[in-house]
Amino acid sequence: MTSAIRIIGIDPGLRNTGWGIIEQLGNSLKFVAAGTLHSDGKADLATRLCQIYDGLEAVLHEQKPDEAAVENTFVNSSGTATLKLGQARGVAMLAPVRAGLPVAEYAPNAVKKAVIGVGHGDKNQIKMMVNMLLPKCKYDSDDAADALAIAICHAHSRAGAILAKRVAAL
């Protein structure tokens, strides 16, 4: 790799959507920015989804990432909550695609395994490892920390894919 690849990780949620941007150059990762988008809990669903889309569109325009990664939706006991989260996730995938970015998807356990080494862990473990892997990072919520973890997972996955292509070409 001769130039840095800028990756946005997105942790979708209807109330709070976390985003985190890192740069990858070879094996090195660098923190760029992170934040949380909030939708108006009193607004109707369509308006809230639009608020998420508009917020992501602004971040994408300002930060200009090269690739995007989004966490897969997990199914919980409430079908209604899962459906709403799925709609927010759809918006989180739509915004980067509309900006011309490739979008990768990762299961929550894959993100945890990439960041903390095992597929199960709590928010504190994720934040601790994100802080270790990105020493100068700053984020305003657990959702933004999770988004940085998603970006880190993608960076590790894409590095493995590049290596596999090189080995296959031998």
Phi, then psi, of 72 in degrees rounded to 5: -65, 155
Q: Phi/psi zone of residue 64: left (φ > 0), alpha (ψ -120 to 50 degrees), beta? A: left
Pair of tokens at residue 133: 């892997």
Active-site option among 23, 67, 143, 146: 143
To the query of whether residue 66 is one of the catalytic residues in this protein, the response is no
To the query of whether residue 11 is one of the catalytic residues in this protein, the response is yes
Task: Report how far residue 158's alpha carbon sits from residue 103's, in angstroms, rounded to the nearest whole number.
Answer: 12
The number of beta carbons lying within 10 Å of the beta carbon of residue 72 is 15
To the query of whether residue 71 is one of the catalytic residues in this protein, the response is yes
Pair of tokens at residue 71: 């966490």
Active-site option among 11, 23, 67, 146: 11
Task: Report how far residue 112's alpha carbon sits from residue 121's, in angstroms, rounded to the nearest whole number.
Answer: 7
Task: Report how far residue 8's alpha carbon sits from residue 14's, in angstroms, rounded to the nearest whole number.
Answer: 18
Active-site option among 23, 40, 44, 71: 71
Residues with catalytic roles: 11, 71, 143
